[in-house]
Amino acid sequence: MSYTDSQKGARVLWFKGFQYIKNSSSGSTIYWKCRSWSAAGCPGRLIDREGVKSESIPHCNHEISAIQQQVEVFKSKFKRRAITHPNEKPAVLINEVKTGIQFNKECAPALPSTSIIAKYPHKWRKNEAVQGFGNPSRRQDIFIPDNYQVTEKGDRFLLYDSRDKDRILIFTTQQNIEMSSPPLTPVLAVMDFEQAAVQAFTEVFESVEVQGCLFHLSQSVYRNVPKEVKAKIAHGDTELELAIKYLPALATIPISRVGQTYEEIRGELLDKYPDMKPLLDYFRRTYIGSATCGARFSIPMWNVHRRIIQNFPRTNNSVEGWNNRLNLLVAATKPSLAHILRVLRMEQSRVEEALLVFLAGSSPPIARY
């Protein structure tokens, strides 16, 4: 026994080689009729009482076909997987489905050619997006089907819809909000080097200590490496490549030694690599300062020496990591709204599972630096 879907999306039951479509139901009892009742005049009927199936009227006027059953099962599961895995290539889809249903090679001649099958996923995915959500040009015309307004376990997921011309949709759960809303009294905040964000955060949390992310400090250094220096590194100058790392490494030594160590590094590098001067000037101007002009970001703001000793995070990569994960899951430059919501619902389910594991007392993996 197995189930497939018709071209119009109706449920098809396969039982002992015959196809049935739903005729009617009464309570927990479902009445099925032979799918060939119209084309072949078959009177075959089947009754499903709470999962127990029995034929009430025998079939006639047509044969059973085990080959056709497996072909239809393949088509149904192929379509379903193509829609639920919108980024899988047709060749991968075909192999995964055939393996999953243990497809009999003797049934292969009954299938369309591989080149024709490979064209189906694009059509199905496009129809799914159009039928489910459409492609509106205005936000106020967006329609969210009911099944996408709840999580996979049935909790409300579309928690807010402004329903105006500047429409805002918020997808989350009440549990997510409750877990994120306890009164916060943070001691330390690790942030990117963005003055507006830092200022806004300190206005809300006046007593919090804001420090910069070591990863973003390193990025700012590498972004300002002069072209001449990059060219030498590209030609294999490994010593020069290592020398650039001296600058972000200043963040790991005690604050009291940063200024003097920078001047020592600056003198040594300028003697050996004059092309480094623009980078060294940028670092002094932005992170060190001088007697006449303070740094844009003070040394205590980006120094991580104390954080290393106290085993505090040196970066905010754990937050950035979720953004990267979401990009990988979406895996498209211009995803449809339907695809984005499918990904968000799957991610919500994953977070719920991870939360249960955490509440059960499982220890998080030890961070390796």
pLDDT digits (tens, 9 = 90+) for 170-188: 999 998 888 877 777 788 8
Q: Quick one: pLDDT at residue 267?
A: 94
Sheet containing 2-5: order of strands:
2-5, 11-15, 18-26, 29-34, 45-49, 52-57
AA letter at 357: V
Q: Quick one: pLDDT at residue 222?
A: 92
- pLDDT tens, position by position, 129-152: 555 566 667 777 787 877 788 888
Q: Quick one: pLDDT at residue 364?
A: 60
Above 90 in pLDDT, residue 311? no
Distance of alpha carbon 94 from alpha carbon 106, whole angstroms: 16
- pLDDT tens, position by position, 36-51: 767 667 888 888 887 7
Distance of alpha carbon 78 from alpha carbon 95, whole angstroms: 10
Confidence of residue 63 (pLDDT cuts 50, 70, 90): low
Confidence of residue 118 (pLDDT cuts 50, 70, 90): confident
Provide the mean pLDDT of the chain.
Answer: 82
Confidence of residue 100 (pLDDT cuts 50, 70, 90): confident
- Average pLDDT for residues 82-107, to the nearest whole number? 77
Q: Whole-model pTM?
A: 0.51
What percentage of the chain carries pLDDT values higher than 70?
A: 89
Q: Exposure string (b/e) for 83-113, b if CB count within 10 Å is 16 or more?
A: beebeeebeebbeebbeeeebeeebeeebee
